[in-house]
């Protein structure tokens, strides 16, 4: 069975500091990984995805993630965060080509 673990429920950080949001997955089959962002009272917006190819994936808003098969990780990074990055971030794995399995989310709080 596939599952996703986001170990950090909350990550506080000051503006312009770097941030890493951790995601680990378990899967016995091919892995397709996604990061979504959810702003307050909104739906999910796709940040980036790994389907195949280069293990370093660049997304919107300056975010990037690296697929590490040996460590079964897909951590999200940004070198310098802004106040507007404050949101809930969800890592997800696509299972059986139909359903996304999500982690429990990480709340990124950016302080001035």
Partner 1 sequence: ETGVTQSPTHLIKTRGQQVTLRCSSQSGHNTVSWYQQALGQGPQFIFQYYREEENGRGNFPPRFSGLQFPNYSSELNVNALELDDSALYLCASSLGAGEVETQYFGPGTRLLVL
Site for partner 1 in 52-111 (CB under 8 A): 90, 92, 94, 96-105
Contact 3, 99 (CB under 8 A): no
Mask: binding to partner 1, 6-35, rule CB under 8 A, as x and -? --------------------------x-x-
State which of residues 45, 55, 68, 84 lies at the interface with partner 1 (CB under 8 A): 45
Taking the C-alpha atoms of residue 15 and residue 73, their distance in angstroms, rounded to an integer, is: 26
Tokens of 105: 């989310």
Q: Rounded to the nearest whole angstrom, what is the least distance from the CB of residue 38 to partner 1 in the complex? A: 9
Look up residue 16 and give its DSSP letter: T
């Amino acid at each position: 069975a596939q599952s996703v673990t986001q170990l950090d429920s909350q990550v506080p950080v000051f503006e312009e500091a770097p941030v890493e949001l951790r995601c680990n997955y378990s899967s016995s089959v091919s892995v397709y990984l996604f990061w979504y962002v959810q702003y307050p009272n909104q739906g999910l917006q796709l940040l980036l995805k790994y389907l195949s190819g280069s293990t370093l994936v660049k997304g919107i808003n300056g975010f990037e993630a690296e697929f590490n098969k040996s460590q079964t990780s897909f951590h999200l990074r940004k070198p310098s965060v802004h106040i507007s990055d404050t949101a809930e971030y969800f890592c997800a794995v696509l299972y059986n080509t139909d359903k996304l399995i999500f982690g429990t989310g990480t709340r990124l709080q950016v302080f001035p």
